[in-house]
Structure 1
Amino acid sequence: MAKYFIIYILAFGVFGIINTEMGVIGIMPQISQQFGISASQTGLLVSLFALAVAIAGPVMPLLFSGMNRKKVMLLVIGLFVISNVVSVYAPNFTVLLIARIVPAFLHPVFFSVAFVAAANMVSKEKVTQATSKVFMGVTAGMVIGTPISSFIADTISLEASLWFFAVVNAITFTAISFFVPSMPVQEKLTYGAQLSVLRKPLVWISIATVISINSAMYAMYSFFAEYLNDVTHMSGKQISLMLILFGVTGVAGNLLAGKSLHQKAIPTALVYPLVFGVIYTLVFVFGHYSTPMIILIAVWGVLFTLGLNISQYWITSAAPEAPDFANGLFVAFANLGITVGTFIGGAFITGMGTQYTAIAGLIFLAVSLVLIIVRASLYSPKQQVKIGESSVVNS
């Protein structure tokens, strides 16, 4: 019981970091108004944060891989608390942007440590359960933290919403300090051994797939509030409710992913961009109508978190012999996808209008499908099963 309590603390820590990264999506209209900037400029809060994570992802987990995991987590969360407080009092947009980018470089470190620490605390048979519990923090931060921050900003103030980010991370810092034991690294892999996985073509195909999947998701999701405001003409409170709906169905998507990836990983991945493409097409066609959008948003939430799970599985299953580094690669290239998707989505808004972010998403989904087919055709189903099993054992 004590071990699972610690795993939930790790999940809450992941939630706090993702909440800091993605929570601004729900308050982008308020930030734009506060600092007198455009929606595409405000999108830099998401895209540059993600770019910093993408740059740090392959490097920082390697550098910290030999350090006591508890000390590493406290260092990262402490930096996030400080940056969140600075964000509350930022006098201009530049200061706000810098306050978000600095801690982003340690973002992938906490992720790698949390996933591996959770796996090491349970028996091999329960590794999947442990890591899925930590991944719930990712899901919660992506799809629940956003509507909460939006609701706070809409009902209280923008500053109160930014305080929410700080308080969540402060709670995590306190919980880790008092309840998580010292976690020295027992067996440290050499940098060379970890980097050697980059020689595998499977890893690079997986990386490209993860970038395209996340680009497809964030070409639209980064401007979720803007879309519902400009195209569907929903009020701030209605948008908050839609974000909550998105979050609730997103949790269901996480549960679905656990079962589908365990039983039929390759078919799930192959079907995913096709189904998501249908949803994006319907969002484009019926975006002006509230009732159809409510239904579409519910399905969209399920597919969103399924995509996150597919992304994490896709890379970690390709490099099971180096779990720390593999999780770092996942965080890095998922965030690179966020950066690319947000940038292209913003460009479509500037050039064609908010509604056309759906077209950007469809383009990336088409690329994702091609890459998934390539991996599925190059590696037989038997190989995929063996890879997946090795990933569970070595995570």
Structure 2
Amino acid sequence: MKAERKNLLVLILAVGVFGILNTEMGVIGVLPLIADKFNVSISSAGLVVSLFALAVALSGPTMPLLFSRMNRKTTMLLVLGVFILSNIVSALTTNFTVLLIARVIPALFHPIYVSLAFTVAAASVRKEEVPKAVSKIFIGVSAGMVLGVPVTSIAAAATSLSLAMLFFAIVHIVVFITTLLFVPSMPVREPLSYGAQVSVLKKTMTWLSITAVILMNGAVFGVYSYLSEYLETITKMTWNTISFMLLLYGTANMIGNILAGKLLTKNAFKTAAIFPFALGAVYIIWYWAGHFSVLMAIIVLLWGILAGIGANINQYWITSAAPEASEFANGLFLTSANLGTTFGSTICGLIISGWGIQYIVFGGFLFLIGSAASIFLRNSLCNPAKQFS
């Protein structure tokens, strides 16, 4: 495949991932409008987010495995078609139960496309260039998470909730057409049996990698889940300023994705080994400087960059443990990352309830200690000779 076609393929995949993450996260900014339209409580409206995330976590290991032997272009078109139809139904329905069903169905297919995007991007380049290709897909992930909320909110305010939710479908229609026209047929040349793929779970390295990813993601998103509350309560920022800080975090996240590709290509283990200590240093500064707005802006910038790097480390850490079953491994990554977010937000929530919001970084520290131990244990047990090569 020529370089131009490879770049176009990765771009289409990145935009596709952006659309899928946009569908998942974009509704966060319009939850009050959903509650009003369907005459439900705000907590009930939140089910459109929580049920989507739960479906992703449950289908992460299974759905990519089930579709791993199908032509990859066909699979992409199928998933995009499901998202298009589900988003149209979500935009047009006036029944809340139908809305929830229309959210859960595409969520089950979410891990298929995202894991496939990572796999195809990695397969399109030489082995040493894989982290850089994957980092471009993560830019789509970050953009979907960062831009989804404000774009949907602005569109809903300017038009209506239904038209704003149709934006999700429009993105997928564009990706569907470009995939149909420009992505070549990609049959799986030597498909692994389902049993051969699942057998990677027999390896100690796989489980140590899963543990590290859960803990690393918990260290980031356990704290991130309560960032707005911290900035309002401790830093005394206005909501407009908090919105800017969230955008700053997301932009920094995309910068981290770009840096991660270069760092993981140069030395993956050193990058992973340093990550918990670098993030821990940021959390230490945060604990002492959280009252100062300017310092918090710098902290959020650094934190966002590290979080972007961390997301790439997580994906690499699991897929490098099971390279023979890349799509199944990417599914394991998605499930592990979602579990890390769930555990992190729960533990940090308990810390807030018991001690107060000012101690939120302590929860992040707990996860960082565990992640550092898991990283070093994986390499000492499974690859002792190459730890710092």
TM normalised by structure 2 equals 0.85
Q: 1:361 aligns with which of 361, 364, 375?
A: 364
1:268 and 2:256 aligned: no
Mean Cα deviation higher: 345-354 or 313-322: 345-354
Q: 1:3 aligns with which of 6, 9, 23?
A: 6
* Alignment check: 8 A CA contact 1:46 1:222 kept: no
> What residue number does 2:59 align with?
56
1:117 and 2:114 aligned: no
Q: 1:85 aligns with which of 62, 83, 88?
A: 88
Distance (whole Å) between structure 2 residues aligned to residue 268 and residue 109 of structure 1: 28
Distance (whole Å) between structure 2 residues aligned to residue 247 and residue 291 of structure 1: 18
> What residue number does 1:377 align with?
380
Residues 1:385 and 1:110: Cα distance change in structure 2 (over 3 Å): farther
Superposition CA RMSD, Å: 3.2
> What residue number does 1:294 align with?
297
Give the counterpart letter for 1:332 in structure 2.
Answer: T
Q: How does 1:216-255 map to 2 (within 5 A)?
A: 216-255=219-258
1:132 and 2:135 aligned: yes
TM-fit CA distance, 1:309 = 0.7
TM-fit CA distance, 1:167 = 2.7
Post-superposition CA distance 1:121-160 (Å, at most 9, x none)? 4455654443333233223223444454455567776656
Give the counterpart letter for 1:276 in structure 2.
Answer: L
1:210 and 2:182 aligned: no
* Alignment check: 8 A CA contact 1:47 1:343 kept: no
Structure 1 unaligned blocks of 5 or more: 387-395
Q: How does 1:76-225 map to 2 (within 5 A)?
A: 76-88=79-91, 96-124=99-127, 126-149=129-152, 152=155, 161-225=164-228
Residues 1:336 and 1:89: Cα distance change in structure 2 (over 3 Å): farther
* Alignment check: 8 A CA contact 1:25 1:225 kept: no
* Alignment check: 8 A CA contact 1:147 1:243 kept: no
TM-fit CA distance, 1:187 = 1.7
Distance (whole Å) between structure 1 residues aligned to residue 363 and residue 86 of structure 2: 32
* Alignment check: 8 A CA contact 1:47 1:342 kept: no
Mean Cα deviation higher: 101-110 or 198-207: 101-110
Q: Percent identity?
A: 52
Residues 1:118 and 1:380: Cα distance change in structure 2 (over 3 Å): closer
Distance (whole Å) between structure 1 residues aligned to residue 238 and residue 181 of structure 2: 43
Residues 1:180 and 1:193: Cα distance change in structure 2 (over 3 Å): same
TM normalised by structure 1 equals 0.84
Residues 1:26 and 1:343: Cα distance change in structure 2 (over 3 Å): farther
Distance (whole Å) between structure 2 residues aligned to residue 375 and residue 238 of structure 1: 41
Give the counterpart letter for 1:296 in structure 2.
Answer: I
> What residue number does 1:37 align with?
42
> What residue number does 1:69 align with?
72
TM-fit CA distance, 1:376 = 3.3
* Alignment check: 8 A CA contact 1:74 1:177 kept: yes
TM-fit CA distance, 1:81 = 2.6
